[in-house]
Chain A
Amino acid sequence: MKIQKLIRDVLLIEWFRGLSVTFKTMLVKPVTRLYPHVKRQPFPGFRGRQALVRDPEKLKERCIMCLRCKTVCPSNCISIEVGKDENNARVLKEYSIDATRCIYCAYCVEVCPVNALVLTEEYEYLGDKRSDLFFTKEKLLSDWDEFLTNYPGDSYFNKFWRPPGMPEKMLTPQKRNEKPIEIKKKNEEIAS
């Protein structure tokens, strides 16, 4: 045993074994990406930048002001202001998300009864100031438009609007019957 060990130590056998592994890897294609040049498309359902869904028909936000998202948020980053219009109907005056506080758990997306909120697959957003990451209602709606115009697919359906495997009885009627949002049609409308 000792002689064997001595021979191994003198001939540096273990070292050459290790080196053979590293030399083999030299011949393999690299697994890394040159990030700013080669961008990675996240998987569907990636929890990225927040946005308010613009209803394809009404062309305004879908929110019904039930305050469930505000209540469920573990980090209290959502603030909602409800006002009244001339017909004494409730309107959404302000809806803001503080992205510096948000922990991207997507609970708000899951509890929203009308799928008005979404965490989009957009992941490249940053700001020089804290106020750049404080999203107001207008910003959230324009983020949604921006996201849809850049989205590669024909239609969009967020995973957390109806998590796969979720039983029907746990969903509100609108969540059960939600259809994917057609993007091409919408883009044409905006163009015309």
Chain B
Amino acid sequence: MGSMEVKEIKEQILTTQNVCILPEVEDNLETKEMILNMGPQHPATHGVLRLVLRLDGEEIVGMEPHIGYLHRGIEKLMESKTYAQALPLTDRLDYISSPANNTAYAIAIEKLFGIEAPIRAKFIRTIFCEMARISSHLLWLATHALDIGAMTIFTYCFREREWLLDLFEMTVGARLLTNFARIGGVRCDISPEFVQGLRDFTKEFPSRVQEYETLLTKNPIWMERTIDIAQISGEDALSWGLTGPCLRGSGVDYDLRRDCPYDAYPYLKFHVPLGENGDVYDRYLCRMEELRQSNEMLKQLLDQLPEGEIISDDSPDFVIPTPPRQVEGAGSAASAFITLSKERKMINTGDLYSAVEVPKGELGVYVVSDGSGKPYRLRLRTPSFVHIAAMPALSVGHMVADIIAIIGSIDIVLGESDK
């Protein structure tokens, strides 16, 4: 329909009826940008993440992540609790790898107080950290593949994850929020059944990883969906503050487990997998190799596991923020605690930043202590928070469907980013 015709019709209608609205037909057919809200209830955003997308057709022009739907004020809550009491709250940060979070917090407080955990405790903590890494990466692989369209892998990953969760339950009585580490050691010793169960797992696991790789790595659909998506160079990744597999996928060789070793990592031999292009596919390959490396580490840890105590004598009491809990010589149970409260020492003042490598990246804990037995300020540098900030840079220029792959590849947990 030519524009002249329309004008004529318009004039006719306007003369007969006074009120009528017809669309203006313009010569240039430019479309406007569309604003699309993705989340917070979208199943592929891995939690309650809301993304405000600006779209030109199907192409992303701009994006703005909105976080805070899962904010529980963990940092502030910790200020009202003693150092030992605040430990269960760290479980709730990255709730799919809670032993790693516990360890990060425990190491920071140990450094602040000058406590040295016994060597066996260090090994047990490292075993749990690596188990948490495997279980976190398995959940990541399951959901990432499910989002992109590979459904079978989801059930396979949960099969192996169940195995690890059973081992967690066997030792500490909880499957998800383990609350395992403790300032100056661990809560319970591991049993011979646990060691045997973990040995069976490490024997079986490499063949399972091979299964996942058979299903995904060379699959044409998988490659189409992931190669050259959300590419980021090493310098960009560093300046955005990415850590963990997201940074290593871009080829930057940085791993806190090797670069500033903590706990039992100095005793282990492992190599840090690196990517080249820094796209979704490379991050996937990095994590798959990390699964194998963690499995090797578990084998080495079980072989080298020393005997000894699992908790340091200086470990602070749960109730009264002072060590040590000497109750020898006390007459009755009740009087023991009265003598306890007179001892008040070891609360160092000062501030400290300590970081460990959790499955998602670098989890830093900054503590300011004023000597009162409770943290004056506790700041958590959580990797997911930083990774979400880099999402606009990663996703501009890609299609809407790629957002799903990008969210999966940076492996976010909203409990950690919102704190």
Contact = CB atoms under 8 A, between A and B. Distances in A.
Nearest to A160: B173
Interface string A148-184: 0000000000011001111101111110000000000
Interface in B152-183: 152, 156, 159, 162, 166, 169-170, 172-174, 177, 179
Contacts of B172: 45
A105 interface: yes
Given A14-B219, A167-B313, 15 more contacts: A9-B220, A18-B214, A20-B214, A25-B156, A43-B170, A46-B169, A66-B337, A68-B319, A106-B173, A113-B336, A164-B189, A165-B188, A166-B310, A169-B325, A169-B327
B50 interface: no
B333 A172 contact: yes
A20 B310 CA distance: 46
Interface string A1-20: 00000000100001101101
A46 B220 CA distance: 44
Contacts of A105: 88, 179
With a 10 A CB-CB cut-off, give which of B156, B324, B325 has the most chain A CB atoms: B325
A70 to B, nearest CB: 10
B373 to A, nearest CB: 12
**Which 10 A-B pairs rank lowest in CB-CB distance, beginning with the nearest?**
A165-B189, A113-B333, A45-B173, A165-B310, A105-B88, A172-B333, A164-B189, A163-B188, A47-B173, A18-B215
Interface string B292-316: 0000000000000000011101000
B326 interface: yes
A171 B325 CA distance: 8
Interface residues of B, number: 45
A71 B327 CA distance: 19
A104 interface: yes
B404 interface: no
Given A66-B337, A111-B318, A169 B328 contact: yes
Interface in A11-48: 14-15, 17-18, 20-22, 25, 31, 42-43, 45-47
Contacts of A74: 81, 85-86, 88-89
B1 interface: no
Given A22-B152, A42-B169, A165-B188, A17 B89 contact: no
B42 to A, nearest CB: 27
A51 interface: no
A23 B187 CA distance: 43
A66 B334 contact: yes
Interface size for chain A: under 10, 10 to 19, 20 to 34, or 35 or more residues?
Answer: 35 or more
B31 interface: no
A82 interface: no
B333 A17 contact: no
B276 interface: no
B319 A111 contact: yes
Contacts of B86: 74
Interface string B330-347: 101110110000000000
Contacts of A64: 333-334
A23 to B, nearest CB: 11
Interface in A65-110: 66, 68, 71-72, 74, 103-107, 110
B173 A164 contact: no
B173 A173 contact: no
A177 B173 CA distance: 23
A141 interface: no
A114 interface: yes
27 contacts: A14-B218, A18-B215, A18-B219, A20-B214, A21-B152, A21-B215, A31-B159, A43-B169, A43-B170, A43-B173, A47-B174, A66-B333, A68-B319, A71-B319, A72-B319, A74-B88, A111-B318, A113-B334, A113-B336, A113-B337, A163-B188, A165-B189, A169-B328, A171-B327, A172-B330, A172-B333, A172-B336
B7 to A, nearest CB: 55
B33 interface: no
B211 interface: yes
A71 B86 CA distance: 13
A4 to B, nearest CB: 12
A22 B216 CA distance: 12
